[in-house]
Structure 1
Amino acid sequence: MARALYIHWPFCLKKCPYCDFNSHVRSDVDEALWKDALLADMRHEAGLAGGESLTSIFFGGGTPSLMPEPLVAALLAEAERLWGFDPDIEITLEANPTSFERAKFAGFRAAGVNRVSVGVQSLRQEALHFLGREHSVDGAKAAVGEALELFERVTFDLIYARPSQTEAEWEAELAEALAFGTDHLSLYQLTIEPGTRFATDVRQRAFTPLEDDPAADLFELTQAMTRGAGMPAYETSNHARPGQESRHNLTYWRYQDYAGIGPGAHGRRGGMATQRHKKPENWLSAVARNGHGLHEERALVASEAASEALLMGLRLAEGVDLAALSARFKRTPDQLVDTDAATRLGAMGLVETDGAVLRVTPAGRPVLDAILAEIVSDALVAA
């Protein structure tokens, strides 16, 4: 049963040009209405995915730091009543570093949040402007500093491999980021997602994305610098000191059950895949009509679930235990993995095996997507 809970707050002050998340700009939000709807959606999900105390809660978005502090407190209190909390529960809230949102940090801490993820994105003002961010570099630095004073655990995001970015530029920026001394960093290469403003800009030749080879060099630099700082990658884009990995995100990557509520939220429970209505107004109408915001709830066939578990698990530095997956999904190891491809990729130093564990090596990380396309068994995909 689900031991993790994801709560989606869909609203932002503006839509960033690179973002393809389920986020929306609205001039007015009825806070009382949203409180009642989120609580109803949570109660419905708890009735189906309850049974064990929660080990993690994640407020994502959108921009959760725009939420009223009393709403966060009310949601946490109800989650604890419905599920109970593990004594070491991780409660994360994504926050932007504007002065308005920084002023709410203490209120979020008092509500029970113990881990904050700050959307810094860059420590260079011209890059923040390019990325469409509302905050300044000084504001970002202040937000991380204030978060470190208030919360037990702090992480922040940076986007690199920006157009024309050089190794020297990224090395200096990443060194500044590591100097904050947080226990976790999420470091994402800029990708041009379909349907975003950046996709339009690239199509209209407003800018040219960084080419693959320079981007790969920046990736290698990132791995070397974070390893040297004692924060190796435990997932393709996520770095942490030992024991400080995001427990919530590990739930996803290890393909464990989690409940998801709020507009567009996905979930996994008992072999079922769930998705809420994406548009805020449609989600609200569904909650009012049905008592929950579910748009789709379907049974996962074993081959689909096994494929997803492989694709997610091989993103992790720890790899996947093929014996455990075989037992879980009633498939033999060679029905999960293309053994010829695994042998070939192993000879190239791109994957390795340790007993029943298969993992992508550091050398394979830059070409992870290509490896995943080869190594998942054709029989599994076709099943």
Structure 2
Amino acid sequence: MLPLAVYVHWPYCARICPYCDFNVFKNRDNTAEKTALLSAIIDDLSTWRQRTGAREITSVHFGGGTPSLMTDAQIGAVLTAVDRLWGLPKGCEIALEANPTDAAAQKWTAFRDVGVNRLSLGVQSFDDDVLRALGRDHDGAGGYRAAQTAMDIFPSVSLDLIFGHSGQSVQDWDADLSRALTLSPHHISAYQLTIEPGTAFAKAKARGEDKAVDDDSSSDLYYHGTAVLGAAGYDHYEVSNHAKPGHASQHNLAYWRGWDYVGVGPGAHGRVTEASSAHGRVTKDGVRYATVCAKRPQDYTARVRAKGTALVDDDALSPAAWGEEYIMMGLRINEGISLRTYKDITGEDLPKAVIETMTEHGFLDTKEGRIFATPSGRAVLNTISAKLLGA
């Protein structure tokens, strides 16, 4: 059977960032709601265990929202449930997303003691003006101190940085990268600022206030970042992610490799494959389901109480849709995709002529039955995927 990752969505935030399009809600003094939500998440996991059967758990990821607003007891309760239901292997990645404003050594040590072994810290920038423009509630010095605290406590620390905001120069981006590298974090995620529909930044753009740089400038910033981080010893293992040896995100790799993951919590998404044979081998006859949970915390809790699950969508993917996801996610990583796996999923071969043409033009590489996007190819992944899929 495919390995299984577990995603837990905690939707509350102290402040809603103007570029964020995640399913988030303002954090308020609603202890009863949060207590009920935690109980519902644990009950939802029990229902998922009945559906997935025994699986090897590869990672547990607390995302949001701001899961660092949870208590160690709440996190521990979820991990205890996962361990009871599937078992948590020794060394399993257990990651938590955090904001610098939640940095407190005693609190984070308690998180570590209940099992969290990786912290993903939303620093975004060390420049106070940039942080204000991004609507963040910390300053550069606070972000740096929070990262230092995290490095002292957790065995694996990832820093999130954002590039491509309006007015940013290569020199500005270099200053942020240099500051981050003085901390020697285990992992750096460098995300391009994108203007998502429905966000405050999208509304500003509609008024003529573009909060992001143009495509050419963004490309310059992207390639500068990859060069700087590569020279510093980080493996550029995914389009936006850079890791020291042994510190790639196992949870995100589950997404990119096309493995299964259960999503619990308000608005959480999941992908679960039900095998077609008694031996549990996934073939083109297996069925992969795309799942989505109710978005509002109250609705999520009510659905679990009534039905044992909070799913509002539980759709079987067609072989073509499954294959498309496999390509679009898998080409983001150095490992690329397996031509055999694609055929197992869809019953079809990828077009050999397209692969050869893309390889001749320097966008793809091939090796031992796998195809990979080159650095040039990563800049045009949507185009490559579309051509491979005949679009």
Q: TM-score, normalised by structure 1?
A: 0.94
Structure 2 CA distance for aligned equivalents of residues 278 and 373 of structure 1: 31
Counterpart in the other structure of 1:343: 356
Counterpart in the other structure of 1:381: none
C-alpha deviation, 1:343, in angstroms: 2.9
Q: Secondary structure at the match of 1:128?
A: helix
C-alpha deviation, 1:327, in angstroms: 2.7
Counterpart in the other structure of 1:42: 45
Confirm or deny that 1:134 pairs with 2:134: no
CA distance 1:302–1:18, shift in 2 (3 Å): same
C-alpha deviation, 1:2, in angstroms: 4.9
Of 212, 227, 230, which residue of structure 2 is paired with 1:227?
Answer: 230
Structure 2 CA distance for aligned equivalents of residues 359 and 214 of structure 1: 26
Counterpart in the other structure of 2:68: 65
C-alpha deviation, 1:272, in angstroms: 1.7
CA distance 1:177–1:221, shift in 2 (3 Å): same
CA distance 1:224–1:312, shift in 2 (3 Å): same
Structure 2 CA distance for aligned equivalents of residues 208 and 288 of structure 1: 42
CA distance 1:103–1:127, shift in 2 (3 Å): farther
C-alpha deviation, 1:317, in angstroms: 1.8
Q: Secondary structure at the match of 2:59?
A: strand
C-alpha deviation, 1:355, in angstroms: 3.2
Confirm or deny that 1:369 pairs with 2:386: no
Do the aligned residues in 1 keep the contact of 2:61 with 2:251 (CA within 8 Å)? yes
C-alpha deviation, 1:93, in angstroms: 0.3
Counterpart in the other structure of 1:20: 21
Structure 2 CA distance for aligned equivalents of residues 102 and 361 of structure 1: 41
Of 265, 277, 299, which residue of structure 2 is paired with 1:282?
Answer: 299
Counterpart in the other structure of 2:277: none
Counterpart in the other structure of 1:353: 366
C-alpha deviation, 1:26, in angstroms: 4.3
- Residue 156 of structure 1 aligns with an amino acid whose one-letter code is L
Counterpart in the other structure of 1:86: 89
Structure 1 CA distance for aligned equivalents of residues 181 and 385 of structure 2: 30
Counterpart in the other structure of 1:312: 329
Do the aligned residues in 2 keep the contact of 1:273 with 1:300 (CA within 8 Å)? yes
Structure 2 CA distance for aligned equivalents of residues 32 and 345 of structure 1: 53
Q: Secondary structure at the match of 1:344?
A: helix
Unmatched tracts of structure 1, length 5 or more: 379-383
Q: Secondary structure at the match of 2:12?
A: coil
Do the aligned residues in 1 keep the contact of 2:56 with 2:86 (CA within 8 Å)? yes
Do the aligned residues in 2 keep the contact of 1:202 with 1:209 (CA within 8 Å)? no
Partner deviation per Cα, 1:102-140 (whole Å, 9 max, x = no partner): 652112111110100001111101111011111111111
Of 146, 149, 172, which residue of structure 2 is paired with 1:146?
Answer: 149
Structure 2 CA distance for aligned equivalents of residues 215 and 32 of structure 1: 43
- Residue 286 of structure 1 aligns with an amino acid whose one-letter code is R
Counterpart in the other structure of 1:188: 191
Do the aligned residues in 2 keep the contact of 1:95 with 1:101 (CA within 8 Å)? no
Aligned residues: 374
Do the aligned residues in 2 keep the contact of 1:57 with 1:92 (CA within 8 Å)? yes
Question: What do you get for the CA RMSD once the two structures are aligned?
Answer: 1.6
- Residue 337 of structure 2 aligns with an amino acid whose one-letter code is V
- Residue 378 of structure 2 aligns with an amino acid whose one-letter code is R
Do the aligned residues in 2 keep the contact of 1:2 with 1:269 (CA within 8 Å)? no
Moved more, 10-19 or 285-294: 285-294
State the identity as a percent. Answer: 39
Structure 2 CA distance for aligned equivalents of residues 125 and 349 of structure 1: 40
C-alpha deviation, 1:365, in angstroms: 1.7
Do the aligned residues in 2 keep the contact of 1:227 with 1:233 (CA within 8 Å)? yes
- Residue 89 of structure 1 aligns with an amino acid whose one-letter code is C
Counterpart in the other structure of 1:291: 308
CA distance 1:205–1:333, shift in 2 (3 Å): closer
Structure 2 CA distance for aligned equivalents of residues 372 and 146 of structure 1: 41
Q: Secondary structure at the match of 1:310?
A: helix
Counterpart in the other structure of 1:272: 289
Do the aligned residues in 2 keep the contact of 1:255 with 1:312 (CA within 8 Å)? yes
Q: How does 1:208-227 map to 2 (within 5 A)?
A: 208-227=211-230
Partner deviation per Cα, 1:226-279 (whole Å, 9 max, x = no partner): 111111211110111232110010000000011111111111112222111112
Structure 1 CA distance for aligned equivalents of residues 35 and 49 of structure 2: 21
Structure 1 CA distance for aligned equivalents of residues 259 and 370 of structure 2: 18
- Residue 328 of structure 2 aligns with an amino acid whose one-letter code is L
Do the aligned residues in 2 keep the contact of 1:12 with 1:62 (CA within 8 Å)? yes
- Residue 296 of structure 1 aligns with an amino acid whose one-letter code is D
C-alpha deviation, 1:24, in angstroms: 1.1
- Residue 193 of structure 1 aligns with an amino acid whose one-letter code is E
Counterpart in the other structure of 1:252: 255
Structure 1 CA distance for aligned equivalents of residues 147 and 192 of structure 2: 21
Unmatched tracts of structure 2, length 5 or more: 274-287
Confirm or deny that 1:124 pairs with 2:127: yes
Q: How does 1:143-182 map to 2 (within 5 A)?
A: 143-182=146-185
- Residue 219 of structure 2 aligns with an amino acid whose one-letter code is A
Q: Secondary structure at the match of 2:260?
A: coil
Q: Secondary structure at the match of 1:39?
A: helix
Counterpart in the other structure of 1:300: 317
Q: Secondary structure at the match of 1:88?
A: coil
Counterpart in the other structure of 1:200: 203
